[in-house]
């Protein structure tokens, strides 16, 4: 359960209340622009991680699909990050190891969320 008492699961509604064609048009344009701008980042981070530009593109696509399935908010944009690329470059030698690191990081975050440890993020320095 979340702190508000609602269950911790993604919403299965296909369309939020009050969502119209104007909202869809804006979301499509925003998604297209975000996708186009993330291509060079994904390729660059793939090269930086040592796995190559194709691996960066696959990672970016996987991130977008996961975000679309799990959900998000109106102001949330998911994209690859420099810190993740540096960690993968340091600790992985293959794409399988990189995926394992990513899955393990996600599992750790889900355990922290289930334990309610998110409130302690305020104590981490910026």
pLDDT in tens, 71-111: 666 666 666 666 777 777 788 888 788 888 888 888 998 89
Q: Which residues of 26-50 are buried (b: 16+ CB within 10 A; e: fewer)?
A: eeeeeeeeeeeebeebbbebbbbbe
Spatial CA neighbour of 46 closest among 6, 102, 86, 97: 86
Quote the tokens at residue 1.
């359960």
CA distance 126 to 119: 15
Quote the tokens at residue 118.
């998110």
pLDDT in tens, 3-20: 666 666 665 566 667 777
Average pLDDT over residues 21-29: 84
**Burial (CB count <10 Å: 0-12, 13-18, 19+), residue 95:** middle
């Amino acid at each position: 359960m979340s702190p508000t008492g609602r269950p911790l699961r993604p919403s299965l509604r296909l369309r939020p209340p009050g969502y119209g064609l104007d909202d869809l048009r804006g979301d499509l344009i925003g998604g297209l622009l975000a996708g186009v701008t993330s291509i060079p980042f994904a390729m660059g981070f793939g090269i930086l991680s040592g796995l190559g530009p194709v691996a960066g593109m696959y990672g970016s696509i996987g991130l977008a699909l996961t975000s679309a399935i799990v959900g998000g908010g109106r102001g949330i944009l998911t994209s690859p990050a420099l810190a993740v690329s540096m960690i993968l470059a340091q600790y992985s030698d293959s794409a399988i190891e990189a995926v394992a690191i990513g899955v393990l990081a996600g599992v750790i975050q889900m355990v922290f969320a289930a334990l309610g440890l998110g409130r302690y993020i305020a104590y981490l320095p910026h």
